[in-house]
């Protein structure tokens, strides 16, 4: 049973938008692609976990804090007598472990994900103890990408390789899963402690004036190139979308990028760019938002 679903992080959505609307440095693009790849891996792992018995509690994407230390748990599984924090990695290609060091194919020194795993486990154990729970924890590093290979000299039982995913799930499904109120209470408490948003220190600085205006295609994220009747057409992937849904997506995007900007007909006309009719924009805003009347500086709000 899924207690908390995974949502795409705002950080990725913002970076995807900036990547089209301004020019990002190589480092910023790499960071964006890494985050995106990580998220795709997490989504794959969510599908894999659909094979887990219904009796288990599943919490996706928890951001917790203990003693001012923040830590992220990709997926937390609650069974009858054990709690399993899973860290999902979408790595691909050859990786090497030598002693305590982790290398990527080009022999570049990478972070050892096992250190992150044990840090998370320690912080979570302290939090659970404070909440009065003493279930044992078993953390796993899940390598979801079949193109991943790790050269290592010793066997580490907390690593699950792509070829072991099915067997690992079968093993979990043999564990006792008679849950009671206390398990549900724990799940609720953890979800309540989830930190909604981080400031994103990795985001590049951006300003409204420097961003290219236009409406993005929801499939390939390039700018829509044509307006035919009530449909927008993407010149890159050929997909089409109704004007209303495209405008609403653009408003959401603008609000995420610039939470302080007021939503007005003129603001959205400028932001969407491809739609030239003030009347069309106003009609869509009136239908979907609340007009906050304030003379000449009236604006639309979604709350």
Q: Which residues make up the interface to Zn ion (CB under 5 A)?
A: 217, 219-220, 234, 236-237, 239
Q: What is the DSSP string of 287-303?
A: HHSEEE-BTBT-EEE--
CA distances in angstroms from 25 to 18, 91, 203, 255, 257, listed in the order given: 11, 23, 11, 24, 18
Q: How far is the CB of 232 from Zn ion (least distance, A)?
A: 10
Q: How far is the CB of 241 from Zn ion (least distance, A)?
A: 9
Whichever of 191 and 220 has its CB closer to Zn ion, that residue is 220
CB 19 within 8 A of CB 222: no
Whichever of 182 and 219 has its CB closer to Zn ion, that residue is 219
Whichever of 162 and 218 has its CB closer to Zn ion, that residue is 218
- Neighbour count for residue 186 (Cβ, 10 Å): 22
DSSP classification of residue 180: -
Taking each continuous run of H as one helix and of E as one strand, the counts in the chain are 8, 15
Q: How far is the CB of 223 from Zn ion (least distance, A)?
A: 9
**Ramachandran quadrant class, 150 (left: phi over 0; alpha: psi -120 to 50; beta: rest):** beta
Q: How far is the CB of 253 from Zn ion (least distance, A)?
A: 15
Whichever of 158 and 225 has its CB closer to Zn ion, that residue is 225
Q: How far is the CB of 59 from Zn ion (least distance, A)?
A: 34
Whichever of 113 and 218 has its CB closer to Zn ion, that residue is 218
Strand 231-233 relative to strand 240-242, pairing: antiparallel
């Amino acid at each position: 049973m899924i207690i908390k679903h995974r949502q795409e992080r705002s950080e990725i959505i913002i970076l995807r938008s900036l990547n089209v609307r301004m020019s990002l440095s190589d480092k910023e693009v790499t960071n964006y692609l890494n985050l995106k790849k990580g998220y795709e891996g997490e989504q794959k792992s969510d599908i894999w976990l659909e094979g887990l018995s219904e009796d288990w509690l599943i919490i996706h994407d928890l951001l917790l804090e203990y003693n001012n230390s923040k830590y992220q748990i990709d997926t937390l599984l609650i069974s009858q007598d054990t709690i399993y924090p899973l860290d999902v990695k979408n790595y691909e290609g050859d990786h090497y472990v030598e002693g305590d060091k982790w290398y990527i194919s080009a022999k570049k020194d990478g972070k050892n994900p096992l250190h992150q795993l044990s840090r998370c486990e320690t912080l979570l154990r302290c939090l659970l103890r404070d909440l009065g729970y003493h279930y044992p924890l078993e953390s796993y590093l899940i390598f979801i990408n079949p193109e991943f290979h790790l050269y290592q000299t010793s066997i580490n039982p907390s690593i699950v390789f792509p070829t072991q995913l099915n067997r690992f799930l079968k093993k979990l499904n043999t564990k006792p899963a008679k849950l009671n109120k206390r398990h549900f209470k724990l799940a609720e408490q953890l979800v309540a402690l989830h930190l909604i948003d981080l400031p994103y220190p990795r985001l590049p600085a951006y300003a409204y004036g420097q961003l290219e205006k236009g409406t993005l295609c929801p499939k390939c994220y390039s700018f829509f190139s044509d307006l035919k009747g009530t449909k927008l057409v993407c010149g890159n992937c050929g997909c089409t979308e109704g004007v209303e849904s495209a405008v609403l997506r653009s408003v959401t995007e603008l609000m995420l990028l610039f939470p302080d900007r007021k939503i007005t007909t003129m603001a959205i006309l400028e932001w969407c760019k491809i739609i030239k009719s003030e009347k069309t924009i106003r009609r869509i805003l009136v239908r979907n938002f609340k007009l906050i009347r304030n003379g000449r500086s009236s604006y639309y709000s979604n709350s």
